[in-house]
Amino acid sequence: MLINVAETVVADALRGMAAAHPELTVDVENRVVVRRDAPVAGKVALVSGGGSGHEPLHGGFVGPGMLSAACPGEVFTSPVPDQMVRAAAAVDSGAGVLFVVKNYTGDVLNFDMAAELAEDEGIQVAKVLIDDDVAVTDSLYTAGRRGTGATLFVEKIAGAAAEEGQPLERVAALASRINENSRSFGVALSACTTPAKGSPTFDLPAGELELGIGIHGEPGRERRAMMTSGEIAEAAVDAILADFQPRNPVLLLVNGMGATPLLELYGFHGEVQRVLAARGVAVARVLVGNYVTSLDMAGASVTLCQVDEEVLRLWDAPVRTPGLRWGM
Amino acid sequence: MLINVAETVVADALRGMAAAHPELTVDVENRVVVRRDAPVAGKVALVSGGGSGHEPLHGGFVGPGMLSAACPGEVFTSPVPDQMVRAAAAVDSGAGVLFVVKNYTGDVLNFDMAAELAEDEGIQVAKVLIDDDVAVTDSLYTAGRRGTGATLFVEKIAGAAAEEGQPLERVAALASRINENSRSFGVALSACTTPAKGSPTFDLPAGELELGIGIHGEPGRERRAMMTSGEIAEAAVDAILADFQPRNPVLLLVNGMGATPLLELYGFHGEVQRVLAARGVAVARVLVGNYVTSLDMAGASVTLCQVDEEVLRLWDAPVRTPGLRWGM
């Protein structure tokens, strides 16, 4: 691993992020990443966070048109309420704060506690819980479905709504609707290596893959002998469509878990498009890349989000973050 | 690997790229990626290419403000002259074409042949050779120094000059100057896996690293026991500064080789900044991410490019490509 020691990995990364992105305010000691112009008068603020190791999520999605602040925890470990309250206080303009919370037990508990503490300080807080992963209910890290790729859609689309001045209630309702209209399914072709452990987090022999993996490498639905890119695309799309049949066109995220080369990811995207076309699902917009990762895990996930014209307009709205940028 | 079969990896990727980027024209059969609005009247065109496996380089750098077209070869294998001539013909507006060639023997020979063929067809061609890697001269893949991270700087900065209507002679001279003012040094923490081989291309035991690696995993200067991120930053920066002492501020690219998590790469960037500050090198702009990769290799490279105000202005100019985008 390209690190100094495991204990300083997150602090080291934040220092490096601060030096790379002068448009962000990075509080290395307290572990809060804030867009520099926050609080923005009259604007609802979006705050997210979670364990580190999924970069660019969430710190890389802080900026105009997306998150107001992010709280990185230790690797694969929830941030603490103090970080979230500090972030909320730094970005609240009086218009309130939306917490975007992936459904992992630690994150949920800590954001709940932070919401109470922030409200005690007079900050109006709403929450949205992201639980788009159709692979398993109840896993190593959470009760219910896990939150994964839909987080990007929620942060982008609700972020655009907040940027144009929509009130907290509407931004929160929109965020919930985006989550409800999103589904994900992922596969792992290798385990990932956490700095603390220094070796793969689980044993996945070469020539096998894990269908329905979580973003921490937690077990999925099934271990199988290696499949082709086309077969994996079919398995992922069909698992999603078995749970949710989009009536409208979709946003499509084909997301790399970290170590899968872009060359392979584009090829996989082509297969996903082929399967979607065969199943009659129209694709309105596409994003292919490493956005919600799991350190150096090889593999990919597919996320669909059913959209209408209003949501598509918000998706297309300008965004300027380290990880996602267009229109400015 | 997330592939169908090794034989179709590049074609599969191009199909997936076409579906993801309607702003590009992707000729899957002939393996040419072209910006959709080419040829642009009166504009010098930039064409690059090389072996696949280094994505987003080069296809991901096609678009306004950067490349006019790219020719992907097989994995780690030069494209053929026919692709390059076809690309040149597709993008030439009559103002001429600049070939951006990384210094690898196959690429150099094929681009030379393509330049002759294109000139026979009445296309004015200039060439710039990229050879920024200070690690070794004469290696497995080339005579002289290898071309690596500086390619991104040349394609962005010369691309901006072409976009604003500078003539071929000036764009070519600028491209040469950017290359002359750039130096790179890379390290590998793991080998990469080519689709054709299906296993790591060389044997690098856990707990060791290779200093001065090439982007194909070709051997570097030295194999060492694992070093800290800070020690690697010192080795990389000092190798560069031993060869070239910038008098002006620099552009800094901290580039991931593919499988190194962004979390680690940001931490490494912080260490590179620390070393540069200690050596008195001022940093004008920074780019941290996976831009010139080597499939799933773990590791990173550092590239410095000495700039003046004019070059900085061209660096900051708008660009809109799948891999690099700002200002539009």
The predicted-structure confidence for B48-78, as pLDDT tens digits, reads as follows 999 999 999 999 999 999 999 999 999 999 9
Superfamily classification of domain A182-315: Dihydroxyacetone kinase; domain 2 (3.30.1180.20)
pLDDT at position A202 is 80
Q: For domain B8-168, which CATH number applies: 3.90.1150.10, 3.30.70.370, 3.40.50.1370, 3.40.50.10440? A: 3.40.50.10440
- To which residue do tokens 């973003």 refer? A215
What are B297-324's pLDDT values in tens digits? 999 999 999 999 999 999 999 999 999 9
Quick check: B266 and A189 CB within 8 A? no
> Cα angle at B245 between B305 and B101, to 5 degrees?
40
Residue with tokens 């520099």: A36
Cα separation, B258 vs B279, in Å, equals 28
Q: Which residues have a Cβ under 8 Å from the Cβ of A251 and sit 6 or more positions away?
A: A153, A283, A284, A285, A286, A287, A303, A304, A305, A307, A315
pLDDT at A215 over 90: no
Which residues on B lie below 8 Å from A1 (Cβ)?
189, 264, 298
Residue of A nearest to B270 (CA): A16
Which of B2, B17, B271 is opposite residue A229, by nearest beta carbon? Answer: B2
Q: Mean pLDDT lowest for which of A137-141, A162-166, B101-105, B141-145?
A: A137-141
- pLDDT tens track for A1-23: 999 999 999 999 999 999 999 99
Of B142, B200, B196, B150, the C-alpha closest to B176 is: B150
Cβ contact (<8 Å) for B295 and A268?
no
User: Under CATH, to which class is A6-181 assigned?
Assistant: alpha beta
**Residue A227 confidence (pLDDT) above 90:** yes
Name the DSSP class of B236: H
Sign of CA pseudo-dihedral A128, A133, A138, A139 = negative
Q: Which of A150, A86, A66, A76 is nearest to A106 (CA)?
A: A76
Query: Mutating which of B231, B262, B268 best tests the A interface, going by the most A Cβ atoms within 10 A?
Result: B262
Pick from B2, B18, B287: CB nearest A264: B2
Going by the DSSP 8-state scheme, the letter that residue A199 receives in this structure is S
pLDDT band at A157; cut points 50, 70, 90 = very high
- pLDDT band of residue A102 (cuts 50, 70, 90) is very high
| Residue A33 forms contact with B (CB below 8 Å) | no
Smallest Cα–Cα separation from B55: which of A256, A163, A137, A129? Answer: A256
By CA distance, what is A75's nearest residue in B?
B263
* A128, β-bridge pairs: A100
**What single-letter amino acid sits at A118?**
A
Q: Which tokens hold the place of B214? A: 């090439």
Question: Residue B137's pLDDT is what?
Answer: 82
Amino acid in position A324 = L
User: H or E stretch including A230?
Assistant: helix A229-243
Name residues whose C-beta falls within 8 Å of residue B239's C-beta, 6 or more positions apart in sequence.
B134, B135, B185, B211, B212, B221
Segment B250-303, tens digit of pLDDT: 999 999 999 999 999 999 999 999 999 999 999 999 999 999 999 999 999 999
Strands A45-52 and A69-75: parallel
- CA dihedral for B285, B290, B294, B299, sign (positive or negative): positive
Confidence of residue A252 (pLDDT cuts 50, 70, 90): very high
Share of chain A above pLDDT 90, in %: 90
pLDDT score for B217:
75
Per-residue pLDDT, averaged over A289-308, amounts to 97
pLDDT number for residue A199: 84
Instruction: Say yes or no to pLDDT of B17 above 90.
Output: yes
Q: Which chain B residues have a beta carbon less than 8 Å from that of A232?
A: 2
Instruction: For residues A140 and A220, give the distance between their C-alpha atoms in angstroms, rounded to a whole number.
Output: 10
Contact A264 B53 (CB under 8 A): no
Cβ atoms within 10 Å of A231's Cβ, excluding its own = 14
Rounded to 5°, angle at Cα A296 from A290 and A302: 40
Provide the annotated active-site residues of A: 54, 216
Asked whether this complex has an ipTM greater than 0.90, the answer is yes
Beta strands in A61-150 (DSSP E): 69-75, 97-102, 125-130
Check if A233 contacts B (Cβ < 8 Å): no
* Radius of gyration in angstroms for the set of CA atoms belonging to chain A, rounded to a whole number: 19
Name the least confident of A248-252, B90-94, B211-215.
B211-215
- Which tens digit of pLDDT belongs to each residue from B150-208? 999 999 999 999 999 999 999 999 999 999 999 999 999 999 999 998 888 888 888 89
Max CA separation in chain A (angstroms): 55
| Residues belonging to chain B | 328
Q: Band the pLDDT of A31: cuts 50, 70, 90.
A: very high
Domains in chain A: boundaries: 6-181, 182-315
pLDDT for B142 equals 80
Q: Is B200 part of the contact surface with chain A (CB cutoff 8 Å)?
A: no
